[in-house]
């Protein structure tokens, strides 16, 4: 569902008339975004299955031990930290230590060494010990916060839809240019230097490019950063960074966001008795999503229960592995 369909669904589920002055489209969009964050961020980050997982390369500066997490990362969303000790980018995993053990890897004031561990201090990665310059870069694998669902683009509906891609020149050409949308739904032009996202408009609605700076030439944008463009396809959609038309979830779970928003609206209106069926359905949907995100190994050998035959008598089954 896109934003228009989500709003319509939430209105129907909450018994809201279109002209309700207390629950405008902007208010419902706010509720949809709140529910998106509350219901799904923790499940996705805890499952550690790679959905919403992005990478960022950060150059290491000699003597600088602290590096901020990306501002768009989920809380507790660092999946893995890797380090390259030279420009060949032979990535090595860095182990996390807690604050009690961090002192074992810190050197005296002013001293530096080769980075061997790290600890988290607030929203900052603290390298241990202070880097001496022999380390080249960090690679952060982190879970990104979903973009905010915003009001629909103005006509034409093809705004931001990519019609051609040039990987060598790092350009995308669109049928019509997209616009930025403020919290009241007012649209404004996107200029050179702005940051954009590129979003898959179908399926799981993953971000293909994240917060990439651009230069603008008509309906062609040149991506001036270093983001990997290999997964961008014709038909993907360009939006200003952190804005989207769809929840960052598989299509199957979009309705749950609308239902969750409707439950909140019904409570606000003093109609909690009408939300019982929605709450039950929402609980089942969230359980299904958590199950889908649960770690699982597809290639492990199945466990088969086979009979144990001994001297012509059948005895209790025993667990054996095949092959």
Question: Does residue 284 lie within any of the structural domains?
Answer: no
Q: Residue 95 is inside which H or E element, if any?
A: strand 95-96
Three state DSSP letters for 223-291:
ECCCCCCCCCCCCCEEEECCEECCCCCCHHHHHHHHHHHHHHHHHHCCCHHHHHHHHHHHHHHHHHHHH
Question: Does residue 271 lie within any of the structural domains?
Answer: no
CB 72 within 8 A of CB 144: yes
- Same domain assignment for residues 57 and 104: yes
**Between the CA of residue 117 and those of 60, 90, 92, 104, what are the distances in Å?**
14, 17, 11, 10
Question: Does residue 197 lie within any of the structural domains?
Answer: yes
- Same domain assignment for residues 120 and 152: no
- Same domain assignment for residues 133 and 200: no
- Same domain assignment for residues 78 and 125: yes
Task: Answer with the one of 144, 175, 199 that is the final residue of a domain.
Answer: 144
- Same domain assignment for residues 152 and 138: no
- Band of the pLDDT at 87, cuts 50, 70, 90? confident
- Same domain assignment for residues 172 and 190: yes
- Same domain assignment for residues 122 and 157: no
Question: Does residue 122 lie within any of the structural domains?
Answer: yes
- pTM, rounded to two decimals: 0.80
Note down the domain range covering 74. 53-144
d(CA 183, CA 265): 19
Q: How many domains does the chain have?
A: 2
Question: Does residue 283 lie within any of the structural domains?
Answer: no
pLDDT for position 296: 52
Neighbour count for residue 71 (Cβ, 10 Å): 9
Task: Answer with the one of 144, 172, 199 that is the final residue of a domain.
Answer: 144
- Same domain assignment for residues 84 and 163: no
Per-residue pLDDT tens over the stretch 60-79: 999 999 999 999 998 888 99
pLDDT for position 94: 94
How many CA atoms does the CB half-sphere of 69 hold within 13 Å? 24
CB 60 within 8 A of CB 135: yes
- Same domain assignment for residues 72 and 160: no
Q: Is the pLDDT of residue 313 over 60?
A: no
Q: Is the pLDDT of residue 316 over 80?
A: no
Per-residue pLDDT tens over the stretch 162-208: 999 999 999 999 999 999 998 778 889 999 999 999 999 998 999 99
Helix (H, G, I), strand (E, B) or coil at 17: coil
Task: Answer with the one of 213, 246, 279 that is the final residue of a domain.
Answer: 246
Q: Is the pLDDT of residue 307 over 70?
A: no
- For strands 171-174 and 162-166, give the pairing: antiparallel
Q: Is the pLDDT of residue 317 over 50?
A: no
d(CA 289, CA 255): 13
- Same domain assignment for residues 140 and 102: yes
Question: Does residue 156 lie within any of the structural domains?
Answer: yes
- Same domain assignment for residues 65 and 152: no
Question: Does residue 239 lie within any of the structural domains?
Answer: yes
pLDDT for position 64: 92
311 Ramachandran zone, left/alpha/beta (phi>0; psi -120 to 50): left
DSSP string computed for 130-193: -B-S---EEEEEEEEPPPEE-PPPPSPTTBTBEEEEETTTTEEEESB--EEE-TT--EEE--TT
pLDDT for position 38: 85
- Same domain assignment for residues 233 and 205: yes
How many residues does the structure list for the chain? 323
Mean pLDDT (the chain) is 87
């Amino acid at each position: 569902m896109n934003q228009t369909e989500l709003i319509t669904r939430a209105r129907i589920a909450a018994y809201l008339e279109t002209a309700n002055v207390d629950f405008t489209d902007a208010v419902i969009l706010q509720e949809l975004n709140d529910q998106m964050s509350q219901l799904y961020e923790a499940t996705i980050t805890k499952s550690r299955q790679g959905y919403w997982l992005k990478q960022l390369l950060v150059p290491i500066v000699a003597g600088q031990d602290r590096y901020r997490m990306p501002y768009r990362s989920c809380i507790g969303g660092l999946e893995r930290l890797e380090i390259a000790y030279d420009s060949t980018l032979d990535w090595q995993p860095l182990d996390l230590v807690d604050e009690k053990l961090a002192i074992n890897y810190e050197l005296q004031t002013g001293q530096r060494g080769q980075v061997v561990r790290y600890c988290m201090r607030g929203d900052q990665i603290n390298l241990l010990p202070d880097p001496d310059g022999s380390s080249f870069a960090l690679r952060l694998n982190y879970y990104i916060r979903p973009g905010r669902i915003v009001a629909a683009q103005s006509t034409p509906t093809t705004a931001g839809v990519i019609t051609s891609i040039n990987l060598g020149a790092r350009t995308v050409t669109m049928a019509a240019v997209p616009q930025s949308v403020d919290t009241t739904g007012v649209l404004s032009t996107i200029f050179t230097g702005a940051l954009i996202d590129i979003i898959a408009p179908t399926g799981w609605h993953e971000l293909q490019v994240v917060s990439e700076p651009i230069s603008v030439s008509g309906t062609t944008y040149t991506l001036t950063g270093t983001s990997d463009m290999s997964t961008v396809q014709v038909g993907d959609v360009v939006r200003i960074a952190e804005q989207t038309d769809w929840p960052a979830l598989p299509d199957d779970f979009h309705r749950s966001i609308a239902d969750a928003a409707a439950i909140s609206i019904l409570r606000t209106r003093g109609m909690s008795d009408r939300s019982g069926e929605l709450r039950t359905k929402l609980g089942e949907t969230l359980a299904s999503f958590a199950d889908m995100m649960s770690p699982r190994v597809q290639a492990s050998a199945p466990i088969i229960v086979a009979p144990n035959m001994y001297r012509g008598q059948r005895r209790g089954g025993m667990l054996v592995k095949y092959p």
